C-alpha cells in the first residue's frame, strides 16, 4: 500500500470541525441543541423519579420505559456536552481513544434504544393478546434479563468497529473530523487504505439491528390491532388501543428519522454537508427530547403523577 508523505501516523488528537460551512453561526446553533438536551435530561429524569417512587408503576411497561429514559439520558449526554464545547467554547480537540469511545457509546445507545422499543412492543403484545399469561411471562427476572441482553447485544455489536479502526488503520489523511461528534464513518473516511470492511460491517449492524427489531415490532402491532378490533366492547377497544399509542408514536418517529438520515447520507450526494450533519445531530437528540413528552402526554398514569408533582410545587394550588 502506497503511503503519501502528507499522512499522519497514529494521531493522538482529532479535531472536531463542528458543522462545516456554518462555523460563524455555530454559537447560535448550539442554543436549540442545549434546549433539547435540557428538556431531555429533565423530562427523562422526571419519568425515572415517578416510575421509581410510585409502586403502582412497577409494571413491565413502565420498567421498560424507565430503561428507555436511562438510555435517552446517556445518549444525549454522550453527544451534547462535547458538541457545545466545540460550538460555544472553541474546544474542538478530542483524544483519539476518547473519540472512539464516544463513537462506541453513541452507536451502542442507539442500538439499545431500538432493542428496548422491541421489548416494549412484545410486552404490549402479550398484555393484550394473552392477558392471563402476562404476569407469568414478564416477571422481574425476565425483564432484567431482557434489559441485559439488549444492552449486551448493542455493546458487543459495536466492539468490532473499534477493533477494526484501532488495529487496521495506522495512517490518516487528516486529523480534522468534518462533524460535530465522533461518528463511525466520519472517522473511517479519514483513514488511508481500504475501508470497505468498516463500511460493510457498519451496514451489517444497521440492517441486522433495525431490520430484526422493525420486523418483530411490526408483527407485534399487527397481532395487537387484530386482537383489539375483535374486542366486542368499544370502550375495551379504545382502552387497549390507548395503551399502545405512545409506543407507536415513539417507534414511528425513531425509525422514520433513522431511515431518512440513512438514505440522505448515502444517496443525497447533492445535499450540502452541513445539512447532513445538522440532520444527523438533530436525529440523535430528537428521541431523548420527544420520548418523555410523548409518554407524559399520552400515558394517563404518567400524566396524573406529573400533574401531582407540579401541583405540589405550586403554592397557589394548596
Q: Round to whole Å and give the CA distance between 236 and 201.
A: 46
CATH of the domain at 205: 1.20.1070.10
**First and final CA of the chain: distance in angstroms?**
75
pLDDT at residue number 117: 92
Residue 265: per-residue pLDDT: 61
- Cut 0.75: pTM above it: yes
Task: Give the integer Cα–Cα distance in Å for 74 and 68.
Answer: 10
Query: Is residue 282 in a domain?
Result: yes
How many folded domains does the chain comprise?
1
* Pick from 63-67, 78-82, 124-128, 236-240: least confident: 236-240
**β 8-9/171-172 pair status:** antiparallel
What pLDDT shows up at residue 257?
A: 72
Give yes or no for residue 5 having a pLDDT over 80: no
Range of weakest confidence among 49-53, 98-102, 163-167, 303-307 = 303-307
Residue 312 forms part of a structural domain: no
Tell me what percent of the residues of the chain surpass a pLDDT of 90.
Answer: 47
Query: Is residue 50 one of the residues assigned to a domain?
Result: yes
* Residue ranges making up the domain that contains 137: 8-306
CB-based contact 1:258 (threshold 8 Å): no
**pLDDT mean across residues, the chain:** 86
Per the domain annotation, does 314 fall within a domain? no
Is residue 318 over pLDDT 50?
no
Q: Examine the pLDDT at 316 and tell me if it is beyond 70.
A: no
**pLDDT score of 268:** 61
- Per residue, the 3-state secondary structure of 148-199, as one string, reads HHHHHHHHHHHHHHHHHHHHHCCEECCCEECCCCCCHHHHHCCECCCCHHHH
* pLDDT given for residue 254 in this prediction: 79
Higher-pLDDT residue of 191, 266: 191
Q: Which of 160-174, 187-201, 294-308 has the lowest mean pLDDT?
A: 294-308
Q: At what angle do helices 234-267 and 273-298 cross, to 10 degrees?
A: 170
pLDDT (mean) for 146-171: 93
Percent of the residues in the chain that have a pLDDT greater than 70, as a whole number: 92
Classify residue 311: in a domain, yes or no: no
Cβ distance 49 to 211 under 8 Å? no
Q: Give the pLDDT confidence of 191-237 residue by residue, as tens digits.
A: 988 888 988 898 888 888 888 898 999 899 889 888 888 777 777 67
**Mean pLDDT, range 77-81, rounded to an integer:** 95
> Does a structural domain hold residue 85?
yes
For the stretch 7-44, pLDDT in tens is 888 889 999 999 988 888 999 999 999 999 999 999 99
| Overall average pLDDT of the 48-58 stretch | 89
Q: What is the pLDDT of residues 104-153, one digit of tens each?
A: 999 999 999 999 999 999 998 998 889 899 999 999 999 999 999 999 99
Indicate whether 315 belongs to any domain.
no
Q: Is residue 247 part of a domain?
A: yes
Radius of gyration of the chain measured on its C-alpha atoms: 22
The mean pLDDT value for 52-56 works out to 88
Amino acid at each position: 500500500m502506497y503511503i503519501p508523505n502528507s499522512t499522519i501516523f497514529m494521531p493522538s488528537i482529532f479535531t472536531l470541525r463542528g458543522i462545516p460551512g456554518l462555523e460563524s453561526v455555530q454559537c447560535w446553533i448550539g442554543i436549540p441543541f442545549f434546549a433539547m438536551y435540557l428538556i431531555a435530561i429533565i423530562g427523562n429524569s422526571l419519568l425515572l423519579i415517578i416510575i421509581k417512587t410510585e409502586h403502582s408503576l412497577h409494571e413491565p411497561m413502565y420498567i421498560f420505559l424507565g430503561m428507555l429514559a436511562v438510555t435517552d439520558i446517556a445518549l444525549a449526554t454522550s453527544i451534547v456536552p462535547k458538541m457545545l464545547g466545540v460550538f460555544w467554547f472553541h474546544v474542538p480537540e478530542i483524544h483519539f481513544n476518547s473519540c472512539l469511545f464516544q463513537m462506541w457509546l453513541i452507536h451502542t445507545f442507539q442500538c439499545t434504544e431500538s432493542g428496548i422499543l422491541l421489548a416494549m412492543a412484545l410486552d404490549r403484545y402479550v398484555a393484550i393478546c394473552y392477558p392471563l399469561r402476562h404476569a407469568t411471562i414478564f416477571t422481574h427476572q425476565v425483564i432484567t434479563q431482557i434489559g441485559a441482553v439488549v444492552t449486551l447485544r448493542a455493546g458487543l455489536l459495536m466492539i468490532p468497529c473499534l477493533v477494526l479502526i484501532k488495529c487496521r488503520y495506522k495512517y490518516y489523511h487528516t486529523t480534522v473530523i468534518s462533524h460535530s461528534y465522533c461518528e463511525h464513518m466520519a472517522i473511517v473516511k479519514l483513514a488511508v487504505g481500504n475501508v470497505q470492511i468498516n463500511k460493510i460491517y457498519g451496514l451489517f449492524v444497521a440492517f441486522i439491528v433495525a431490520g430484526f427489531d422493525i420486523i418483530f415490532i411490526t408483527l407485534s402491532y399487527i397481532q395487537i390491532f387484530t386482537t383489539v378490533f375483535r374486542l366486542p366492547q368499544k370502550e375495551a377497544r379504545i382502552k387497549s388501543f390507548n395503551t399502545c399509542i405512545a409506543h407507536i408514536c415513539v417507534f414511528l418517529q425513531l425509525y422514520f428519522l433513522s431511515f431518512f438520515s440513512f438514505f440522505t447520507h448515502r444517496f443525497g450526494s447533492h445535499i450540502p454537508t452541513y445539512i447532513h450533519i445538522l440532520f444527523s445531530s438533530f436525529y440523535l437528540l430528537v428521541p431523548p427530547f420527544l420520548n418523555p413528552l410523548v409518554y407524559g402526554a399520552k400515558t394517563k398514569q404518567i400524566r396524573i403523577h406529573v400533574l401531582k408533582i407540579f401541583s405540589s410545587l405550586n403554592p397557589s394550588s394548596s
